[in-house]
Structure 1
Amino acid sequence: MTSAPRPGVLLDVDGTLLDTNYLQVLAWWRAFRDTGHPEVSMADCHRAIGIASTELVAHLLGDDVPDAEEISAAKDERYQPLRELVDAFPRVDELLTACRERGLAVVLATSGKESDLEWMVPAIGGEDVVDGATTSADVDSAKPAPDLLQTAVTDNGLDAARTVAVGDTVWDVRSARDADLPCIALTCGGISRAELEDAGADEVYDDPADLLAHLDDSLIGRIARG
């Protein structure tokens, strides 16, 4: 017997649950220089964080870049030693637990690689509360395309009418809008409230702790109440 779809929350990881965006920026910036693209600035990299690797390179350099794979590989190499600096935002584990206690499935939806989950999940303290995860490996087109979120809904048996996406970039917001999902955005990834609202975010909070403090009044709380 097939179980009924359940309400859920789809959570981006980098910049939303983990304070990694500026580490990602540094790794990308160095990778572009390593591969002969000094014209790409740190600001350019920051504005593109949230886009999956292949798409990020194309977004910054164009679709016909011959060394796109080399750039992505250089970024992975540069990011590896920075991972020891990764930390979760305050009260992330409490936020995930609070969502779960309200009857919501807690699902990670990240443009990162499947192998990243091996360190991401322990870093956010989500071993006991994360119900599932969808990564770039599960789709042909990751964020900002809607595929990642749509696949996360389908694969985890979620009720799309009672599911909220949470992210920190305009790319997360656009992905949610194109997937017909409401979106909560957080400014802790370095993108302003105005930009997130202009992109279509339904609600904006400072960080996971701020969302937790207002959880019952947020979209998440309202969906949990039915």
Structure 2
Amino acid sequence: MTPSARPGVLFDVDGTLLDTNYLHVLAWWQAFRDTGHTDVSMADCHRSIGIASAELVGHLLGDDVPGTDEVVEAHSRRYEALRDQVVAFPRVAELLSACEERGLAVVLATSGAESDLEWMQPAIGAGDAVAGATTSADVTSAKPAPDLLQTAAADHGLDPARTVAVGDTVWDVRSAKDAGLPCIAVTCGGIGRGELVEAGADEVYADPADLLAHLDDSLLGRVARG
């Protein structure tokens, strides 16, 4: 470990810190219908949340189907109309502050656009506890590729051996595993414990409040103690 490297935690945002997954499901379902893809169900959309936008469209329609940009733009329009309903999960700000107080560098790692941080961070709260953020704008391949987490750790001077990823989807877990990072998963995004464990999650909690209640006994607590 270099002298500047530090322990840290990489938090996914949608479905992990912000209660947005089902808003995204609705927006994606509407976007597919807006663009003529009426065979895509809400269940299909839900199980794809966590994949970056262009990759999500390819995942559901096939990479050879034209019009990816049209669907992504339709989702952006639909989601914009829902954004005023976004709230953080209970005790999110307390969790981030508690991690920072224990010596962990708190970094947001989201497949969302850089511009999304302008409204995401105030919704999350605990701005003083957040060391920085990495978005899809910082990488060529976003989740489920490991690039986002690897870049977030490197750009913020984190020691990979003492960094934990926290997310809510199987895509988050797979990304963490491929990045060589341990992963804590939460079920508040709508994916069950069994699937998250099968994907490789090291620990699973119900939501940020549950993780906060068990913080010192969790992977994060152990990493913070060295």
| Cα distance per residue 1:175-207 (max 9 Å; x no partner) | 000000000000000000000000000000000
Q: Is the 8 A contact 2:94 2:126 kept in 1?
A: no
Q: Distance in 1 between matches of 2:52 and 2:25?
A: 13
Q: Is there any run of 5+ residues in structure 1 with no aligned partner, and where?
A: none
Counterpart of 1:95, as a letter, is: L
Displacement, 1:173?
A: 0.1
| Cα distance per residue 1:117-141 (max 9 Å; x no partner) | 0000000003211101000000010
Counterpart of 1:161, as a letter, is: A
Aligned to 1:7: 7
Displacement, 1:65?
A: 1.7
Aligned to 1:91: 91
Aligned to 2:73: 73
2:129 partner SS: coil
Aligned to 1:144: 144
Counterpart of 1:48, as a letter, is: S
1:160 partner SS: strand
- Aligned counterparts, 1:141-220, within 5 A: 141-220=141-220
2:144 partner SS: coil
- Aligned counterparts, 1:10-159, within 5 A: 10-159=10-159
Q: Distance in 2 between matches of 1:128 and 1:7?
A: 17
Counterpart of 1:67, as a letter, is: G
1:161 partner SS: strand
Q: Give the RMSD, CA atoms, in angstroms.
A: 0.8
Counterpart of 1:148, as a letter, is: L
2:111 partner SS: coil
| Cα distance per residue 1:59-117 (max 9 Å; x no partner) | 00000121000000000000001000000000000000000000000000000000000
Counterpart of 2:127, as a letter, is: E
Displacement, 1:217?
A: 0.2
Q: Distance in 1 between matches of 2:170 and 2:161?
A: 22
Displacement, 1:4?
A: 1.6
% identical equivalent positions: 78
Displacement, 1:25?
A: 0.2
Q: Distance in 2 between matches of 1:69 and 1:126?
A: 34
2:162 partner SS: strand
Displacement, 1:3?
A: 5.1
Aligned residues: 225
Counterpart of 1:59, as a letter, is: H
Q: Give TM-score scaled by structure 2 length.
A: 0.99
Counterpart of 2:41, as a letter, is: S
Counterpart of 1:119, as a letter, is: W
1:189 partner SS: coil
Q: Distance in 2 between matches of 1:84 and 1:10?
A: 25
Counterpart of 2:20, as a letter, is: T
